[in-house]
């Protein structure tokens, strides 16, 4: 029988087998060693749930609220319970390792992956990450991977950028949430290094951070893996403590590392290899992937994925999505609408996100949801569940897409729409035929059917093409279009490699010799090319797209130096389509007319997974398209502007120049597959909003320090300087009182009113404890977040979040007392290589956000300096 003992296996493994274990076998799994009964670990993204094997068009999975939405709940218990849900979800995808949570701090609101993280504050992020990991790992069946370690606060040049971070900021802001989770009672089993460099060293080979801080200071015993394609060296990364190169086949290890080990030019190489192999084997042992039969070990890379989520888990997803919605303004007390007589009344839903709202951001967070819920339909359904029939009508009002919408069985803005279908298969959107030749010649090697026109072949190519190097294959996509309307219709292509689009055999888009890249396919795809054609309603048209990899010198000249072979090796395409639209004026006029004939109007604006995504940052804080123009027209021209309810959906702030002119405004972070139901629950009063902002909301991007300092954002000569130091988010505004944010970190309103009273402040050992009584003195049941900020009495500008808790639902007239503990270590600052808390008077303030923290304070004295070990 094969051994399950790590030391025994280390002795039995050949050098070549050890090397195999230190890199992935394919995109998501590690190598197996059948002769010794060693199986394969399967990883899965990630930030929005356990997606499973395929980045696009894979098996359905539970699409959970984004990290920003989770953070906006400020609920430790709910996030821990979500971890348990994700453990069960990962198991349905036959995975042992979930590539989450993301705990990088939101340094700049333009950063593309802000929606994935827990906001700008290291204490909030670290606390919630700890709860998330505890819930995920407590059964021992699934491991967490905290990421991206460290300094991955932007997507611009993310593979090569050098983040120059002062030591104080590195310790207090960017390392802090990782430290909190790793030094907790339930540390993550895995850490993922970021792509970027920090202070001159790529993170995969940053020994000062990986070895000195992560391993020695914090005592991390788990496995360190690279981000996908983020291993930048063979020997240096190994010596720095990077245990596993992902994905496979290996790029920097494999044969290269085997050659180094055989040459044995360094005496410590065998010992370091054994150390990393030991960590891989330990993780395998935890997940019962040692001691397998030879057949079981071989089959460990072919586990079957399923999709099964309980109703209780779905209820929690819906609850978190609703509790993460932040009520920013309710000046006319229009909300909740459940208090009004809506029966038989018409409610207008206006805006580009009103009919089909986004579930989440893009990139690694992409998921094929089990289903989607959208604002208007969900509103009708929730009202009906409350015994009220509501008439709801829609008008888009504005167009806000970055690219033409992907092919769909339903148009982006209209219920009755053009349709696409694979030939002979109405259930599928399109058919892909693959050829083992670069020119679509020879027999068809494989046929696939898909339901998404974003065709990323990095992990969905036929098995015979997923080898290193990738062979020169090609493909032909076929779909049958039945237009809804007669007129000039638009098609588009973005591609990695060459592509062409034909309609009924006529070449419409030639994209085989493009010379400019765009943000598509993680910034390695071509710019979108658009072609138009007059089409007749009801007639069927055959659409063909051909694709193949480009090998010409011109193509390689336009690829950036930082090109990641795992993103750019496979020919891939994104196909868009749009029927002829009315003009911007016509869309706005239609929206105003609908609003005027309706009892209430819900205007749903914001961003989506094309604007917020892995791979690129936003270029400005403005709302895309004509959304600001739509709002301005509605506010100025509607008959009853006080009946306008604005909902902004995004993962991070946008400039809202009209915010002071509207009376009702909600911020809905991406809520996953239950986003529509959650919004309806809040609008109708089924749920009283208890979300609080996990980020500070600027009025203008020009108010932020990055606006006047290109070296601090996005970069200067490949280096980004964190010149603001620790003044991130609310800390910046506290140190610059002449500038005021739109809304402070921690801000959020409720449909009810709460009173807060500090009953007692006591010092005991290493902590101070506040006893805070919270009473519901309003008209609705609801939850309140108790936020505690601390600062030296003489330096109020240095306030920082040091504790928080959330009440249970308080009924009208009821109250509860929360014991909120402030650890002295969390009050300390990094000075000269150690954590220091100086003697003196300290203020603890309780408020709804940083800006309110001075309204209810207590002062306590620290008699002597305290120094805490690193």
The reported pLDDT for the residue numbered 412 is 39
Same domain, 595 and 676: yes
Max Cα separation, the chain? 83
The reported pLDDT for the residue numbered 409 is 62
DSSP 305: P
Residue 66 covered by a domain? no
The reported pLDDT for the residue numbered 551 is 85
Written as six digits, the tokens of 221 are 């015993």
The 10s digit of each residue's pLDDT in 637-688 is: 999 999 999 999 999 999 999 999 999 999 999 999 999 999 999 999 999 9
**Domains held by the chain: number:** 3
Same domain, 498 and 565: yes
The reported pLDDT for the residue numbered 562 is 61
Q: Which CATH number does the domain housing residue 566 bear?
A: 2.60.120.260
CA triple 688-692-694, angle to 5 deg = 150
Identify whether the C-beta of residue 481 lies closer than 8 Å to the C-beta of residue 603: no
Q: Could you give the count of Cα atoms lying within 13 Å of 560 in the half-sphere of its Cβ?
A: 19
Written as six digits, the tokens of 500 are 């062409």
Kindly tell me if the per-residue pLDDT of 547 is higher than 50: yes
Q: Cβ contacts of residue 589 below 8 Å, gap of 6+?
A: none
The 10s digit of each residue's pLDDT in 785-834 is: 999 999 999 999 999 999 999 999 999 999 999 999 999 999 999 999 99
Written as six digits, the tokens of 679 are 């919004």
The 10s digit of each residue's pLDDT in 804-814 is: 999 999 999 99
Q: Exposed, middle or buried, 735 (CB in 10 Å: 0-12/13-18/19+)?
A: middle
Residue 860 covered by a domain? yes
Residue 414 pLDDT class (50, 70, 90 cuts): very low
The reported pLDDT for the residue numbered 860 is 97
Q: Exposed, middle or buried, 813 (CB in 10 Å: 0-12/13-18/19+)?
A: exposed
The reported pLDDT for the residue numbered 316 is 98
Q: Which CATH number does the domain housing residue 814 bear?
A: 2.60.40.10
Identify whether the C-beta of residue 666 lies closer than 8 Å to the C-beta of residue 325: yes
Kindly tell me if the per-residue pLDDT of 153 is higher than 60: yes
Same domain, 453 and 370: no
The reported pLDDT for the residue numbered 189 is 98
The 10s digit of each residue's pLDDT in 156-175 is: 999 999 999 999 999 999 99
Full 3-state SS string of 769-817: EEEEEEEECCCCCECCEEEEEEEECCCHHHCEEEEEEECCCECCCCEEE
Q: Cβ contacts of residue 97 below 8 Å, gap of 6+?
A: 41, 42, 43, 44, 90, 142, 143, 145, 189, 190, 283
pTM of model > 0.85: yes
Quick one: how far is CA 605 from the chain centroid? 19
Among 735, 767, 790, where does a domain finish?
Answer: 735
Residue 474 covered by a domain? yes
Same domain, 533 and 437: yes
Q: Which CATH number does the domain housing residue 703 bear?
A: 3.40.50.1700
The dihedral formed by the CA atoms of 550, 551, 553 and 556, expressed in degrees to the nearest 10:
70
* Backbone φ/ψ region at 94: left (φ over 0), alpha (ψ -120 to 50), beta: left
Identify whether the C-beta of residue 239 lies closer than 8 Å to the C-beta of residue 271: no
Give the CA distances from residue 612 to residues 228, 431, 455, 788, in Å, rounded to whole numbers and listed in that order. 20, 29, 19, 31
DSSP 116: G
How much is the mean pLDDT over the chain?
94
Same domain, 588 and 494: no
Beginning with the edge strand found earlier in the chain, give each strand of the sheet holding 866-868 in spatial order: 829-831, 834-837, 866-868
User: Could you tell me which residues are beta bridge partners of residue 30?
Assistant: 24
**CA 307 to CA 591: how far, in whole Å?**
39
DSSP alpha helices (H): ranges in 461-501? none
Residue 588 covered by a domain? yes
The 10s digit of each residue's pLDDT in 256-305 is: 999 999 987 788 999 999 999 999 999 999 999 999 999 999 999 888 88
Same domain, 694 and 597: yes
Same domain, 549 and 670: no
Which residues are designated catalytic?
227
Residue 97 covered by a domain? no
Written as six digits, the tokens of 52 are 């499973």
The reported pLDDT for the residue numbered 413 is 42
Same domain, 464 and 527: yes
Same domain, 382 and 425: no
In 3D space, the residue among 725, 716, 571, 565 whose CA is nearest the CA of residue 157 turns out to be: 716
How many other CB atoms are there within 10 angstroms of residue 709's CB atom? 13
Q: Cβ contacts of residue 484 below 8 Å, gap of 6+?
A: 411, 414, 416, 417, 418, 419, 537, 579
The 10s digit of each residue's pLDDT in 94-142 is: 999 999 999 999 999 999 999 999 999 999 999 999 999 999 999 999 9
Written as six digits, the tokens of 362 are 């893009």
Identify whether the C-beta of residue 319 lies closer than 8 Å to the C-beta of residue 633: no
The 10s digit of each residue's pLDDT in 216-230 is: 999 999 999 999 999
Among 554, 578, 602, where does a domain finish?
Answer: 578
First to last CA, the chain: 45
DSSP 849: S
Identify whether the C-beta of residue 190 lies closer than 8 Å to the C-beta of residue 184: no
**Among all chains, which residue has been given the structure tokens 């402070």?**
744
Same domain, 570 and 592: no
Residue 19 covered by a domain? no
Identify whether the C-beta of residue 27 lies closer than 8 Å to the C-beta of residue 54: no
CA triple 662-631-113, angle to 5 deg = 95
Residue 7 covered by a domain? no
Enclosing domain of residue 547: 419-578
Same domain, 693 and 709: yes
**CA 422 to CA 403: how far, in whole Å?**
23
Identify whether the C-beta of residue 49 lies closer than 8 Å to the C-beta of residue 86: yes
Percentage of the chain exceeding pLDDT 70: 98
Among 735, 766, 784, where does a domain finish?
Answer: 735
Kindly tell me if the per-residue pLDDT of 56 is higher than 80: no
Residue 721 covered by a domain? yes
The 10s digit of each residue's pLDDT in 703-758 is: 999 999 999 999 999 999 999 999 999 999 999 999 999 999 999 999 999 999 99
Same domain, 571 and 589: no
Q: Cβ contacts of residue 83 below 8 Å, gap of 6+?
A: 131, 132, 133, 134, 135, 136, 137, 138, 144
């Amino acid at each position: 029988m094969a051994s399950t003992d790590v030391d025994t296996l280390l002795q039995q493994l050949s050098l070549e087998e050890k090397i195999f274990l230190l890199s992935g076998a394919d995109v998501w799994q590690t190598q197996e060693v059948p002769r010794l009964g060693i199986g394969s670990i399967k990883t899965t993204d990630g930030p929005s749930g356990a997606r499973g094997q395929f980045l696009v068009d894979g098996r359905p999975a539970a699409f959970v609220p984004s990290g920003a939405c989770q953070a906006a709940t400020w609920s430790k218990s709910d996030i821990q319970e979500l971890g348990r849900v994700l453990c069960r979800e990962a198991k349905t995808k036959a995975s042992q390792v979930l590539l989450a949570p993301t705990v990088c701090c939101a340094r700049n609101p333009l950063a593309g992956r802000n929606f994935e993280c827990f906001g700008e504050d290291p204490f909030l992020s670290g606390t919630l990450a700890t709860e998330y990991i505890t819930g995920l790992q407590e059964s021992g069946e699934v491991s967490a991977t905290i990421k991206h370690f460290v300094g991955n606060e932007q997507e611009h040049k993310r593979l090569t950028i050098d983040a120059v971070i002062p030591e104080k900021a590195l310790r207090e802001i960017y390392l802090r949430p990782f430290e909190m989770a790793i030094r907790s009672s339930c540390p993550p089993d895995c850490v993922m290094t970021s792509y970027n460099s920090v202070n001159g060293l790529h993170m995969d080979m940053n020994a000062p951070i990986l070895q000195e801080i992560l391993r020695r200071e914090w005592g991390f015993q788990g496995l360190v893996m690279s981000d996908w394609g983020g291993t930048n060296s063979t020997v240096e990364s190994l010596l720095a403590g990077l245990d596993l190169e992902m994905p496979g086949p290996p790029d920097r290890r494999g044969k290269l590392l085997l050659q180094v080990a055989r040459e044995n030019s360094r005496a410590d190489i065998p010992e370091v290899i054994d150390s990393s192999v030991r960590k891989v084997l330990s993780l395998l042992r935890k997940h019962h992937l040692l001691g397998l039969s030879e057949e079981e070990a071989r089959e460990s890379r072919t586990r079957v994925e399923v999709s099964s989520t309980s109703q209780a888990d779905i209820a929690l997803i819906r609850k978190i999505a609703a509790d993460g919605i932040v009520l920013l303004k309710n000046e006319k007390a229009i909300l909740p609408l459940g208090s009004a007589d809506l029966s038989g009344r018409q409610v207008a839903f206006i805006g580009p996100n009103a009919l089909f709202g986004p579930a989440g951001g893009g990139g690694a967070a992409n998921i094929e949801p089990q289903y989607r819920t959208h604002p208007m339909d969900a509103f009708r359904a929730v009202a009906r569940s409350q015994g009220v029939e509501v008439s709801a009508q829609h008008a888009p009002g504005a167009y806000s897409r970055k690219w033409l919408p992907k092919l769909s069985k339903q148009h982006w803005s209209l219920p009755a729409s053009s349709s696409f279908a694979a030939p002979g298969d109405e259930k599928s959107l399109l058919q892909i035929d693959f050829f083992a030749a670069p020119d679509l010649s020879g027999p068809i090697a494989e046929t696939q059917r898909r339901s998404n026109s974003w065709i990323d072949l990095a992990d969905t190519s036929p098995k015979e093409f997923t080898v290193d190097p990738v062979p020169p294959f090609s493909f032909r996509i076929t779909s049958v279009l039945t237009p809804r309307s007669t007129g000039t219709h638009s098609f588009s292509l973005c591609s990695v490699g060459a592509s062409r689009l034909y309609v009924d055999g006529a070449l419409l888009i030639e994209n085989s010799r493009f010379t400019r890249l765009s943000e598509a396919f993680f910034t390695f795809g071509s710019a979108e090319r658009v072609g138009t054609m007059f089409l007749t309603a009801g007639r069927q048209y055959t659409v063909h797209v051909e694709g193949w990899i480009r090998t010409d010198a011109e193509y390689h000249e336009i690829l950036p130096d930082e090109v990641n072979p795992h993103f750019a090796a496979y020919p891939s395409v994104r196909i868009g389509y749009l029927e002829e639209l009315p003009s911007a004026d016509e869309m706005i006029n239609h929206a105003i007319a609908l609003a005027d004939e309706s009892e209430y109007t819900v205007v749903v604006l914001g961003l989506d997974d094309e604007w917020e995504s892995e791979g690129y940052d936003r270029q400005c804080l403005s709302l895309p398209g004509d959304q600001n123009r739509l709002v301005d027209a509605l506010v100025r021209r509607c008959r009853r502007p006080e009946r306008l309810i604005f909902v902004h959906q995004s993962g991070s702030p946008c400039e809202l120049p009209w915010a002071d002119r509207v009376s009702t405004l909600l911020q809905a972070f991406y809520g996953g597959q239950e986003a529509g139901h959650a919004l309806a629950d809040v609008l109708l009063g089924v749920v009283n909003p208890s979300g609080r902002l996990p980020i500070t909301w600027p009025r203008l991007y020009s108010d932020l320090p990055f606006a006047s300092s290109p070296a601090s954002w996005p970069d200067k000569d490949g280096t980004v300087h964190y010149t603001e130091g620790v003044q991130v988010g609310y800390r910046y505004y506290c140190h610059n009182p002449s500038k005021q944010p739109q809304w402070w970190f921690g801000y959020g309103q409720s449909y009810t009113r709460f009173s807060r009273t500090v009953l007692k402040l006591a010092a005991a050992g290493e902590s101070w404890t506040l006893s805070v009584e919270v009473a519901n003195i309003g008209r609705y049941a609801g939850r309140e977040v108790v936020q505690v900020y601390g600062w030296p009495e003489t330096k109020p500008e240095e306030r920082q979040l040091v504790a928080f808790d959330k009440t249970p639902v308080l009924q009208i007239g009821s109250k509860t007392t929360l014991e909120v503990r402030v650890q002295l270590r969390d009050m300390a600052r990094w000075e000269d290589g150690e954590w220091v808390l100086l003697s003196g008077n300290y203020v603890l303030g309780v408020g709804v956000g940083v800006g309110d923290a001075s309204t209810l304070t207590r002062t306590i004295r620290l008699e002597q300096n305290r120094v805490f070990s690193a």
